[in-house]
């Protein structure tokens, strides 16, 4: 994985812990310890992900996100903050953060969240019709799926499934979410209908060379075409 990540964090110990996690993922890392330096770096270098503290010398990282966007950055932003109450998290997400992780954090959780953002960053939306994840392509109007230019024949329900997965790429999708958004059921019917349909879709994708659908044990599924991997 050769991705560039910016850490904006004034606490040296925390910054070192974050750096250890992301460098362990094979990513390149830059670090700034003030808000102004972070904004300058974010708007001059094409980072994939910015891990942004809130209470920084120079101001609040959340309030700076608009300046970062206005400066042309397309990086996905993960707020990492001691301000971890629900209201703080909601504020951060509503003001444009792509994820929000309270301190103190577990390295494994930070690693998983950064990896999820990198996966999300692999998706391209072209002409509001084509969703592209490496060699996996989904055409919304034609309702077709291709892996490595090979057509994958999916049923109407399987197409709804993969579209929902794609729009939530990199995130855990629970069976209840699938029941509500794909089957329009707001209760659990107590059947294995979700697992059966996901299993069929996953087999079709795997036969075409894509391992995009993975099981999140005890939680649901993750649609995660890995950068540089098949599909």
The predicted pLDDT at position 121 comes to 64
**Using one digit for the tens of pLDDT, what is the confidence trace for 98-119?**
888 999 999 988 988 888 888 7
Please say whether the beta carbons of 38 and 8 come within 8 A.
yes
- Around Cβ 80, how many Cβ atoms within 10 Å? 23
The predicted pLDDT at position 204 comes to 96
Confidence bin at 80 (pLDDT 50/70/90): very high
**Nearest by Cα to 206 from 165, 152, 164, 132:** 152
**Using one digit for the tens of pLDDT, what is the confidence trace for 143-181?**
999 998 899 999 999 999 999 998 887 778 899 999 999
**Nearest by Cα to 95 from 126, 134, 64:** 64
Tell me the mean pLDDT in the region 68-89: 90
**Using one digit for the tens of pLDDT, what is the confidence trace for 7-26?**
999 999 999 999 999 999 88
What is the H or E stretch that residue 81 is in?
A: strand 76-81
The predicted pLDDT at position 172 comes to 80
Query: Of the spans 56-60, 65-69, 208-212, which averages the highest pLDDT?
Result: 56-60
The predicted pLDDT at position 214 comes to 84
The three-state (H, E, C) secondary structure of 20-71, written as one string: HHHHHCCCEEEEECCHHHHHHHHCCCCCCEEEECCEECCEEHHHHHHHHHHC
Please say whether the beta carbons of 39 and 68 come within 8 A.
yes
Looking at every residue in the chain, the average pLDDT score rounds to 87
For the chain, the C-alpha Rg in angstroms (whole number) is 19
Please say whether the beta carbons of 129 and 140 come within 8 A.
yes
Confidence bin at 127 (pLDDT 50/70/90): low
């Amino acid at each position: 994985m050769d991705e560039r990540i910016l850490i904006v964090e004034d606490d040296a110990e925390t910054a070192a812990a974050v750096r250890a996690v992301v460098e362990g993922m094979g990513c390149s890392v830059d670090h700034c310890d003030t808000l102004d330096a972070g904004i300058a770096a974010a708007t001059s270098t094409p980072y994939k992900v910015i891990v942004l503290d809130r209470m920084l010398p120079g101001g609040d990282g959340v309030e700076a996100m608009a300046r970062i966007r206005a400066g042309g950055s397309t990086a996905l932003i993960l707020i990492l903050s001691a301000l971890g109450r629900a209201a703080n998290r909601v504020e951060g997400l509503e003001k444009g953060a792509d994820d929000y992780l309270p301190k103190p954090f577990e390295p494994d959780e930070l690693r998983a969240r950064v990896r999820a953002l990198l996966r999300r960053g692999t998706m391209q939306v072209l002409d509001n019709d084509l969703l592209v994840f490496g060699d996996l392509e989904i055409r919304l109007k034609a309702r077709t799926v291709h892996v490595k230019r090979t057509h994958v024949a999916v049923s109407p329900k399987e197409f709804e499934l993969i579209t929902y997965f794609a729009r939530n790429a990199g995130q855990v999708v629970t069976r209840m979410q699938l029941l509500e958004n794909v089957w329009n059921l707001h209760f659990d019917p107590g059947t294995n209908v979700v697992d059966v349909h996901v299993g069929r879709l996953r087999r079709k994708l795997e036969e075409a060379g894509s391992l995009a659908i993975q099981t999140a044990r005890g939680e649901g599924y993750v649609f995660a075409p890995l950068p540089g991997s098949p599909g």
